[in-house]
Amino acid sequence: MIGALNYFLCPHMILSDEDLKTLSIFLPRVNVMETIRRASIPQWAQDRFPGWSVLQGDYLVARIVSCLEGYRSFAQVHGGPGGILGFLNSVFEEIDEPRYRIQEELRGKSRREDMVQKEIIQAALFLEIARELDEKELEIESGYADLSAMEQEFRDIVGIDDDTESAEARLTPALTHDTNGFLYMLPKRIEGWFRLFSLQPVQGRPVFVACLPEVVGEALEMIRAGCEQSGKEFSTSEYLLGTIPGVGKLGQKQFQTLIEAPGMPELLSTCHSELKNIIEAAAGNEDRDELQAGSRSLQSSFERLCGKCEADLGGKANLRLAVVENVSFADAARFLGASAGFTAGDWPPVFLSVQKSD
């Protein structure tokens, strides 16, 4: 296996402030996919979360922007379930003649070139609209958090105990989402993300990072289904790597002070290195005893990190690793939506996920 580990946020294209801080703790660097807009990363985090542009050429970007404006206009007039993202999905599933024809943007191309370009444009359009949906989701979450803080302040002022069961103490319904918008049309997001991922040569050995465990579950199911159709054996190795500190709720100044505290940079570097060793060992099918020893060392580092961060103030999160066995990375990526001609080196599909605890 040649090349360094290269971490990619998958399949989302935006991170909350909480996720930025959490991932900063246990990963040295995470690439965030860009299509027609730059990644929305605050200044303090741009070195750790560089934007990774997948579209080459201003002409292609201009055509995608043109199509996006056309779809927005059409969706505003005709509407439909699921808003513009649901509208795009229904259009893309039409085999014969989409109502708003991308082909008109591609005249002069051969049929094969037309189909390839159409797939790229469809994926970019879908992910860009999904990103807008996620941005709105973060705004809603922020609003709920502000309302919850105001309610808690009121309860403290009037002396209502959080453990009180009386009906009078239950001032409002729980201020939470009924559904998680980041999971909306998740398989389609994954397909579009890997379609664009396959446009660029694979740099290093990719590790796909998900801030929601459901992402990894869906990706593994898609790979399993692809293996079943192709007659390939499917199996995975999954590991609970340990508990990481939930620093996401810290203020920016508090977080910056924390990661720059004496001894903290060295501890973070140790966690990054030990995590890298575990991933490489798991992907290389190394001896189980060695894996367990490495896992204990990593968990010990995480425990020291939690102690340093006083993680009880911000909750904790479990870090999980999944490695797909018996399937090449190129095949697995194709099952997830990558182009048929996509090639990759001798490295299995590797997924990291973060599961936050309350």
Supply 222's token pair.
């898609």
Q: What is the pLDDT of residues 103-138, one digit of tens each?
A: 545 554 545 556 777 888 888 888 988 888 888 888
Tens of pLDDT along 43-96? Answer: 989 999 999 998 877 777 888 887 777 766 666 665 555 555 555 565 555 433
181-231 pLDDT, tens per residue?
Answer: 788 889 999 999 999 999 888 888 999 999 999 999 999 999 999 999 999
What is the C-alpha to C-alpha distance for residues 351 and 206, in angstroms, rounded to an integer?
Answer: 9
User: Using alpha carbons only, what angle is made at residue 338 by residues 336 and 344, rounded to the nearest 5 degrees?
Assistant: 105
**For residues 205 and 4, is the Cβ–Cβ distance under 8 A?**
yes
Break the chain into its structural domains and give their ranges. Answer: 5-54+209-356, 55-199
Confidence of residue 6 (pLDDT cuts 50, 70, 90): very high
* Residue type for position 262: P
Structure tokens at 280: 């490489």
Higher pLDDT, 264 or 285: 264
* In the predicted structure, residue 8 carries a pLDDT above the cut 70: yes
Say whether pTM exceeds 0.85. no
